[in-house]
Amino acid sequence: MLSIGSCCTLLSAVVFLQGKPFLSSNTQTVNPPRPRAATLVAPKTRVAPSAQDVAQAGIVVPRVQKAAASQSAAAPRTPEEKAAVEALAAEKLSQAGLSRESYAFKQHVYNLHIARGLRSGRERIYDLPAAQLATIAGTDIKMRRDAALQLGRLLSAAHADLARDLAINRAAAANDAAAALRRSRARRVRELAINNAYRPASRQFGIWDRNFQKYYEATQEKRRALAANEPNGEAGGEHGAAAAELLREYIGVRVAAPGFSNHQGGIAVDFALLLQPDPEQPAASTEKELGASMAQVDPWKESWFWHWLKARAGEFGFVEYEPEPWHWEFKPQQAGQEAKQGAK
């Protein structure tokens, strides 16, 4: 099997929802049951979770801190929040394999990324208490309670629709191009899976820290070119101000700064998918694992699961983060608005 890479996440566990799970070398063993359709009834219309759903889930939406124009205006207000922010300070980043100059540059880029989040108008998110988390049905992965409830329903509906499309016979497909395409895509699906969902700030910090080196190397030529194209040469060269901003922007589309990730807020999920060869055309397709990898955007958008999510995820309050077809977020208000616009 191929390992599932990650541009936006560090793969900690991929939990497949049927049969045996695929596990990477650094995961804990899990063997979740398949979601039970009898207890997870999918809504039939595009509606946000009801007030009763939220009440049953026991949701108390955690306090978040509105970002302000300056970092001082967005300072943490409680001892717990202050301690959380201090634990994510640039001085805590690893210096392994870096020169003193490169390490100072790493810290500078990190601080730029945090400052960008504070200026953007986004909310600074603090870790959710355990009482506000719930396990997604059929897995041992957690999300915010309301999101976990709806995701369980989403997965139950996906399994039901996958079974329906697998049941389309060849004769029916021969007279219905849309049904034929659904059938063909469905026959490639071996397992629907979840890569990860909620993760605390400490894990988000670790993802940023561990991935910095590859981002640093990937932008090295462009950073050197920036310095070379300056009329009088830029002070600092590939570690100068323009180079730092370039790297900050590059990292920003691949991983969120700690405190600004919707995974940390408990509303984001990264799916995974195990594909198998089409039984009717085994030579024309291969087994493949799709995860959180920018190199797999096209295969994701050709998959049965992605097309199903585009058509039905909004019913359960989930919307796609479009640069990453595996990444979906629980935003019922936005999902409702998009449904209304699509109905016009």
**pLDDT tens digits along 309-329:** 999 999 999 999 999 999 999
Check whether residue 277 and residue 173 sit in a common domain.
yes
Check whether residue 195 and residue 205 sit in a common domain.
no
Check whether residue 79 and residue 38 sit in a common domain.
no
Q: What 3-state class would DSSP assign to 127?
A: coil
Domain hosting residue 241, numbered range: 64-125+201-252
Among the listed residues 234, 246, 267, 58, the one whose alpha carbon sits nearest the alpha carbon of residue 142:
267
Check whether residue 142 and residue 242 sit in a common domain.
no
Angle at the Cα of 45 (from 151 to 154), degrees rounded to 5? 15
Residue 68 lies in a domain: yes
H or E stretch including 144? strand 142-144
So what's the pLDDT on residue 207? Answer: 94
Average pLDDT, the chain: 80
Chosen domain end from 217, 252, 287: 252
Q: What 3-state class would DSSP assign to 198?
A: coil
Residue 59 lies in a domain: no
Interatomic CA distance for residues 155 and 34, integer angstroms: 10
Check whether residue 208 and residue 337 sit in a common domain.
no
Contacts of residue 101, defined as CB under 8 A and 6 or more positions apart, other chains included, come to 239
So what's the pLDDT on residue 13? Answer: 47
So what's the pLDDT on residue 79? Answer: 86
Interatomic CA distance for residues 27 and 30, integer angstroms: 9
Residue 78 lies in a domain: yes
Ranking 60-69, 230-239, 240-249 by mean pLDDT, the lowest is 60-69
H or E stretch including 115? helix 100-119
Check whether residue 189 and residue 83 sit in a common domain.
no
Return the CA Rg of the chain. 22
Chosen domain end from 191, 225, 252: 252
Check whether residue 162 and residue 228 sit in a common domain.
no
Residue 267 has pLDDT above 80, yes or no: yes
pTM of the prediction? 0.75
Q: Which residues is 243 bridged to in the sheet?
A: none
Residue 10 lies in a domain: no
Residue 41 lies in a domain: yes
Residue 121 lies in a domain: yes
Check whether residue 24 and residue 154 sit in a common domain.
yes
Residue 241 lies in a domain: yes
Domain count, the chain: 2
Residue 2 lies in a domain: no
Check whether residue 209 and residue 334 sit in a common domain.
no
Check whether residue 194 and residue 271 sit in a common domain.
yes
Check whether residue 246 and residue 279 sit in a common domain.
no
Amino acid in the structure at residue 255: V
So what's the pLDDT on residue 326? Answer: 97
- Per the model's pLDDT, the better-predicted residue between 197 and 70 turns out to be 197
Check whether residue 30 and residue 151 sit in a common domain.
yes
